[in-house]
């Protein structure tokens, strides 16, 4: 049984990995079609991506919208998370469910709602409209990440600061925020990625003016399967790779640099 499961597992690993790898050689293809393996290689489609406003504009839109969504999400979620994690009050469980609701509703359902609701207020095809919609979808994810961090927070540190005479506000600025910083950054990052990747709502409400990158990719795949998609895909994939591999790598490098430097400072002391 064990060997059987292990062989199946190895097949599964190949299944997970293969499609991710295939995108990279495709981006260097010089064929006009989706031929794989490509007949020849070149930088042609990279040049096309970085010079074509039809691709650069959606990229820019996506960055603006994701940044706006992140800021708005954090402004709303940070205080709410403190309320929900640190206080007990009537209706708390309802508030918890309400916060997670946007994760439970299929995006296509929200797309129909936003299409009609934002249409009535002239918010369709605007950056603001997409930001307002994406914020709803980012809230639960940012909340889940941040509340997990806040639950593990050691409150004796705050009490220690206050017993030493720090005001609640000072305690918050000098103790709570710095300790919570990694959680806040990860939470904001999740909100950003959620918006940057969101496709369905963007397809229906971003229109031509605020078209996001996923929308452009969707249209492009649907219509002509422009090989520039492979370039965008590779770039996105490399970003993910950096995001996942870089933090542990950086930590390892820093640990290696720090160890000797700490030693040298000790040696310098008379």
Partner 1 sequence: MQATIARLAQRPNLWPWLLLTPLAVYLAVFFLVPLIDVVIMSFTEPRLSLANYEKVLTGVLYQRVFFNTFVTAALVTLICLLIGYPLAYLMNRSTPRTAMLILTLVTMSFWTSFLVRTYAWMVLLGDSGPIIGFLKFACYQNPPQLLFTRFASTLAMVHILAPYMIMNIYSVMRKIDPVLIRSAQSLGARGGSLFRHVYLPLTAPGIANGSVLVFVICLGFYVTPVLLGSPREQMIAGLIGHQIDEFLAFGMGSAMAVILLLMTLTILTIYHRRFGLDKLWG
In the complex, the smallest distance separating the C-beta of residue 153 from partner 1, rounded to whole angstroms, is 16
Angstrom distance (rounded) from CA 122 to CA 125: 8
DSSP string for residues in 53-98:
HHHHHHHHHHHHHHHHHHHHHHHHHHHHHHHHHH---TTHHHHHHH
Which CB, 223 or 265, lies closer to partner 1?
A: 223
Four-point Cα dihedral 139, 145, 148, 152, nearest 10? -120
Angle at 241 between CA 237 and CA 242, to 5 degrees: 120
Tokens describing residue 229: 């998609």
Which CB, 175 or 229, lies closer to partner 1?
A: 229
In the complex, the smallest distance separating the C-beta of residue 156 from partner 1, rounded to whole angstroms, is 19
Which CB, 76 or 166, lies closer to partner 1?
A: 76
In the complex, the smallest distance separating the C-beta of residue 226 from partner 1, rounded to whole angstroms, is 10
In the complex, the smallest distance separating the C-beta of residue 207 from partner 1, rounded to whole angstroms, is 12
Angstrom distance (rounded) from CA 78 to CA 188: 10
Q: Is 191 left (phi over 0), alpha (psi -120 to 50) or beta?
A: alpha
Which CB, 179 or 200, lies closer to partner 1?
A: 200
Cα–chain center distance at 205: 20
- Of the candidates 93, 189, 94, 107, the one whose C-alpha atom is nearest the C-alpha of residue 141 is 189
Which CB, 175 or 232, lies closer to partner 1?
A: 232
Which CB, 4 or 267, lies closer to partner 1?
A: 4
In the complex, the smallest distance separating the C-beta of residue 209 from partner 1, rounded to whole angstroms, is 18
Which CB, 141 or 161, lies closer to partner 1?
A: 141
In the complex, the smallest distance separating the C-beta of residue 218 from partner 1, rounded to whole angstroms, is 6
Q: Which residue has the tokens 């996942």?
A: 244
In the complex, the smallest distance separating the C-beta of residue 181 from partner 1, rounded to whole angstroms, is 19
Q: b/e string for 94-113 if b means 16 or more Cβ within 10 A? A: eeeeebeebeeeebeebbee
Which parts of 106-235 are beta strand (E)?
none
């Amino acid at each position: 049984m064990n060997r059987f499961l292990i062989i199946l597992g190895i097949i599964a690993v190949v299944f997970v990995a293969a499609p991710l790898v295939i995108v990279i050689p495709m981006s260097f293809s010089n064929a006009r079609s989706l031929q794989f393996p490509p007949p020849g290689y070149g930088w042609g489609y990279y040049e096309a991506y970085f010079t074509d406003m039809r691709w650069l504009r959606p990229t820019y839109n996506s960055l603006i919208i994701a940044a706006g969504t992140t800021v708005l999400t954090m402004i709303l979620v940070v205080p709410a998370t403190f309320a929900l994690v640190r206080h007990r009050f009537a209706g708390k469980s309802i508030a918890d469910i309400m916060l997670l609701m946007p994760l439970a509703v299929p995006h296509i359902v929200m797309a129909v709602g936003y299409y009609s609701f934002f249409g009535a207020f002239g918010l369709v095809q605007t950056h603001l409209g997409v930001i307002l919609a994406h914020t709803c979808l980012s809230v639960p994810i940012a909340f889940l990440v941040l509340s997990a961090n806040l639950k593990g927070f050691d409150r004796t540190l705050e009490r220690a600061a206050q017993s030493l005479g720090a005001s609640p506000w000072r305690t918050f600025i000098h103790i709570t925020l710095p300790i919570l910083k990694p959680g806040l950054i990860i939470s904001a990052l999740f909100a950003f990625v959620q918006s940057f990747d969101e496709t369905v709502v963007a397809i229906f409400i971003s229109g031509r003016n605020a078209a996001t990158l996923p929308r452009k990719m969707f249209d492009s795949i649907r219509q002509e399967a422009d090989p520039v998609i492979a370039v965008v895909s590779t770039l996105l994939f490399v970003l993910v790779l950096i995001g996942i591999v870089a933090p542990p790598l950086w930590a390892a490098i820093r640990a290696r640099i720090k160890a000797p430097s700490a030693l040298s400072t000790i040696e310098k002391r008379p």
